[in-house]
């Protein structure tokens, strides 16, 4: 038996650090191979780190809430035997066959032929009403028999924290979370870590490095709604999103420069071959952008299936980091509720374009010289001015409106 220090592995996709969410082991406790050591939150997902050794926990090198750099000491184990081949996995909802831990073992990568089999994770509603809680918190609540719908979250924006769940399980009052502090003059300070920190960095990068401009248009949604009705009559009800994606893909094919990026190191425009569409999703953890890969190769039905899976996975926290990177153009949706019609979307670097759709509502339109009420919505696009000029952006937006107004799916 010898002490082995396990370091935070490379979780892939260029991630350099992770926030320690919770330990699942204690110093002095015994751990088995593949038994969860801790949950960490990266810029893209909450991931479980399993143990590569059988042994006794000697020392935990970080505290929950701290950021841990890749390669930094995570835990020291008095290990019995050689390390096993294991792999980090999403915090819940995924079963994995063993493979080499990313960044460790032979080849420092997954073994050939390793597979993952995903199952659908419970949504926030299934875990107890319309709650704001991270996946590991929902899992903890399930284990302790706590109904999240009955809790008032003490975290940012009312998010339910681990402390809230543990307090409810013990009947105590939830402590004030370490992430938020209140000064004597009433100011409240919230520690920014994990996904929120990544969002902040990405937005600063976008507005400080990309000279972007925005254009707006309104489209007549009559044909889109008729297409939805035909689909419903055939036995399947679809949201407007798959139709938006179909139209966007067709417009991008006609204007491939919208599916490009600026190579700052070489001052070159890189036009992407595949259309990997980022879909902005509002979640309890913040804004996440899962990527629908090869959107230009999918029909309406496949787009509906895969986009729904990605959206649900983003909200449930079950997507892998690789499923939230590699986008070439992004789509966002204001939604159907509230008075907000549209907005100015911010480009996700290094992409060239982001497209925002507003809510479809009845509005006055001029048809054949007459003002009539028709269902329609705003579209806004933000574009990298280094790559696309105003005239091309206008042509693209006009083409997108045309595709939407002539849908016959």
Calpha distance 1→312 (Å, rounded) = 44
Q: Of 104, 105, 87, give the one whose Cα is nearest residue 96.
A: 87
Tokens of 179: 């992430």
Calpha distance 8→85 (Å, rounded) = 15
Tokens of 401: 């409106």
Beta bridge partners of 404: none
Calpha distance 148→131 (Å, rounded) = 7
Q: Between 222-233 and 240-254, two packed helices, what is the crossing angle to 10 degrees?
A: 120
Is-catalytic flag, 408? no
346 touches 382 (CB < 8 A) = yes
Calpha distance 324→290 (Å, rounded) = 4
Tokens of 287: 């804004």
Distance of CA 264 to the CA centre of its chain: 26
DSSP calls for 308-345: HHHHHHHHHT---GGGGS--SEEEEE--SSSS------
Calpha distance 133→161 (Å, rounded) = 7
Q: Which residues of 320-339 are buried (b: 16+ CB within 10 A; e: fewer)?
A: bbebbbebbbbbbbbeeeee
Catalytic choice (30, 61, 385, 406): 385
* Residue 218 backbone dihedrals phi, psi, to 5 degrees: -120, 135
Q: Which residues of 389-407 are buried (b: 16+ CB within 10 A; e: fewer)?
A: eeeebeebbebbbebbeeb
Q: Of 397, 391, 386, 389, give the one whose Cα is nearest residue 210.
A: 386
Calpha distance 267→263 (Å, rounded) = 5
Q: Of 6, 11, 10, 20, give the one whose Cα is nearest residue 67.
A: 20
Q: Which residues are catalytic?
A: 385
């Amino acid at each position: 038996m010898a002490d082995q220090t396990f370091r935070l592995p490379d979780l892939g996709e260029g991630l350099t650090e992770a926030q320690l969410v919770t330990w699942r082991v204690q110093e002095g406790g015994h751990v088995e191979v593949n038994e969860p050591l801790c949950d960490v939150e990266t810029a893209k997902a909450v991931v479980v780190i399993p143990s590569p050794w059988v042994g006794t926990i000697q020392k935990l090198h970080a505290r929950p809430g701290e950021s841990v750099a890749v390669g930094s000491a995570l835990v020291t184990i008095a290990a019995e035997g050689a390390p096993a081949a294991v792999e980090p996995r999403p915090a819940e909802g995924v079963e994995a066959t063993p493979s080499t831990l990313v960044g460790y073992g032979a080849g420092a990568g997954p073994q050939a032929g390793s597979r993952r089999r995903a199952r659908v994770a419970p949504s926030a509603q299934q875990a107890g009403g319309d709650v704001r809680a991270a996946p590991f918190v929902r899992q903890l609540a399930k284990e302790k028999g706590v109904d999240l719908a009955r809790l008032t979250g003490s975290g940012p924006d009312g998010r339910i924290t681990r402390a809230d769940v543990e307090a409810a399980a013990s009947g105590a009052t939830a402590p004030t979370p370490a992430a938020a502090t209140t000064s004597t003059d009433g100011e409240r300070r919230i520690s920014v870590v994990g996904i929120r920190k990544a969002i902040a960095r990405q937005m600063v990068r976008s507005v400080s490095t990309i000279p972007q401009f925005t254009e707006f248009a309104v489209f007549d949604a009559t044909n889109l709604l008729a297409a939805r009705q035909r689909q419903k009559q055939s036995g399947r009800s679809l949201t407007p999103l798959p139709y938006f994606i179909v139209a966007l893909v067709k417009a991008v094919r006609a204007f491939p420069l919208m599916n490009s990026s600026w190579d700052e190191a070489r001052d070159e425009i890189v036009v992407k071959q595949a259309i990997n569409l980022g879909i902005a999703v509002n979640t309890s953890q913040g804004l996440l952008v899962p990527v629908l890969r090869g959107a230009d190769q999918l029909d309406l039905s496949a787009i509906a299936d895969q986009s729904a899976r990605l959206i649900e996975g983003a909200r449930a926290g079950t997507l892998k980091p690789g499923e939230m990177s590699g986008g070439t153009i992004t789509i966002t949706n204001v939604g159907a509720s509230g008075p907000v019609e549209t907005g100015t979307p911010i480009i996700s670097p290094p992409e060239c374009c982001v497209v925002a759709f507003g809510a479809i509502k009845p509005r006055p339109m001029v048809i054949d010289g007459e003002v009539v009420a028709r269902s329609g919505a705003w579209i806004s696009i933000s574009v990298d001015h280094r790559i696309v000029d105003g005239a091309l952006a206008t042509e693209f937006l006009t083409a997108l409106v045309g595709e939407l107004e002539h849908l016959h799916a």
